[in-house]
Structure 1
């Protein structure tokens, strides 16, 4: 089965009232904003649509909004922003645990702000929060396996603050916290996934859309998910019963893009095990 391959998405987007769009790989490339995508979202909002950016970024939305500013993503391109960091904070609050071991960047510790949580050494920890690798440019997930084995042997809960396995930063493909959580589950550990493709992230996104629409309900048939990752974006759309638009030039671009255009054979291979299929694919949002 094939799906339409678009060069422009405006006509498709006009069918929907709410867009739930991925950020990294769709709106920016990890370094700077992608101007055609941003312009597309600006025009969609000007026509009356609502845009919720849903990111597996591990920081709280207030922090990530500043990151988007730095990458020159205009605020006029979106109504609301929901992040894995927001979901992580909800899970930390619900855990009622107080001694956390953190894996990730120092800046990611904003997820603990306002909670009576002490960041401790490995031996004292009651639970683990992984927002990223400590240095994803030089480390690989397997380097963490011995430590994860020790945590799993103690039965510590593990909150994954970024369910992505990998992410493009410019031209580099770098590992994310989801790779650590996958190892932890392989070891028999308990993982709470704070982000796409899991329902809590989409529940927050829908609440944000209702807020942006002045409290009006959101019809599932009028929601389009835009994303570049089969495992998170498309799987999340399937879970929620939403249509999806696949950005082929994102995380799967080495498999789906040939000579700057979407390769139908590569696209079919990437989507072979995914059902239902996206309503369309496009190299980049435009």
Structure 2
């Protein structure tokens, strides 16, 4: 067996801040947990901006960034901690618009309705009338699991309908709970033989949007060697950075519990590497939390 690629333990962002012009920073799991923001992480991003850097938040939220900003404000994420914001919803909307007028069978909570606004799609509530499926999440992620959708998805899989997944995340931590996301439904659909299309992390379209925002702020071409991705998702944030050949800081706590900790509560790079290796990913750096 080949030796694992150990990430460098990085307790503080300030240790490498001068090496980067742009941060592509995940949101849920890095700067908040859905119920509260983390002051130290927000402060780290603010300090990076104040030193002349540029933070682009890059989220697998299925809604457009303009619609998610209010959520960040409500969680007391300071606007000084970011300069631009792109979401899986932004990238997915372009894919949805290509398929207008559909019709599309939409699965997800009512709060995600803005994902479809302006796309020209007709939405239906059954597979018989649909040309494809679009999933933004579970209707009630507090009580449902992906398995609750098997019966609903079966006719679509049998018809060979595409499923557009607006949020590739499988799970996120909400407070002290782990909840399922649209990516978990997409996994089930693939297991049933269906075809899934995604535009969020780890796929290229969302990174294209994020780097366009970075170019606007820099006023020129982005040096990809001076871009650092930050995130806690091995198969979204880390794999996405790897696919884009960008450096990554893996936040190895949150959804990972204590799996990457030493007995004294510090990061164990070897344990972090095991989490990464399980998904065939590597990261240049790892930390338990984002701090300055």
TM range (shorter): over 0.9
How many angstroms apart in 2 are the aligned matches of 1:26 and 1:260? 18
Q: CA deviation at 1:9?
A: 1.7
Aligned residues: CA RMSD: 1.5
1:183 is the counterpart of 2:183 = no
1:137 is the counterpart of 2:142 = yes
Query: Per the alignment, in what secondary structure is the counterpart of residue 16 of structure 2?
Result: helix
Partner of 1:20: 24
Structure 1: stretches of 5+ with no match in the other structure: none
How many angstroms apart in 1 are the aligned matches of 2:141 and 2:34? 13
Whether the 8 Å contact between 2:99 and 2:121 is mirrored in structure 1 is no
Query: Per the alignment, in what secondary structure is the counterpart of residue 52 of structure 2?
Result: coil
Partner of 2:103: 99
* 1:201-212 correspondence runs (5 A): 201-212=206-217
Of the structure 1 ranges 249-258 and 29-38, higher mean CA displacement relative to structure 2 is found in: 249-258
* 1:191-206 correspondence runs (5 A): 191-206=196-211
Q: How many residue pairs were aligned?
A: 285
| 89 and 201 in structure 1: CA distance in 2 versus 1, 3 angstrom threshold | same
Partner of 2:227: 223
2:277 equivalent among 267, 272, 284:
272
Deviations 1:126-153 (A, max 9, x none): 2211001011110010111121111111
Partner of 1:172: 177
Whether the 8 Å contact between 1:14 and 1:44 is mirrored in structure 2 is no
Whether the 8 Å contact between 1:229 and 1:250 is mirrored in structure 2 is no
How many angstroms apart in 1 are the aligned matches of 2:108 and 2:142? 12
Of the structure 1 ranges 44-53 and 185-194, higher mean CA displacement relative to structure 2 is found in: 185-194
Q: TM-score, normalized by length of structure 1?
A: 0.95
Of the structure 1 ranges 102-111 and 119-128, higher mean CA displacement relative to structure 2 is found in: 119-128
1:253 equivalent among 251, 257, 266:
257
* 1:34-53 correspondence runs (5 A): 34-53=38-57
Query: Per the alignment, in what secondary structure is the counterpart of residue 257 of structure 1?
Result: coil
Partner of 2:240: 236
Q: CA deviation at 1:195?
A: 0.4
How many angstroms apart in 2 are the aligned matches of 1:271 and 1:119? 39
Partner of 1:156: 161
Q: CA deviation at 1:97?
A: 3.6
Query: Per the alignment, in what secondary structure is the counterpart of residue 14 of structure 1?
Result: helix
Structure 2: stretches of 5+ with no match in the other structure: none
How many angstroms apart in 2 are the aligned matches of 1:133 and 1:80? 27
Q: CA deviation at 1:171?
A: 1.1
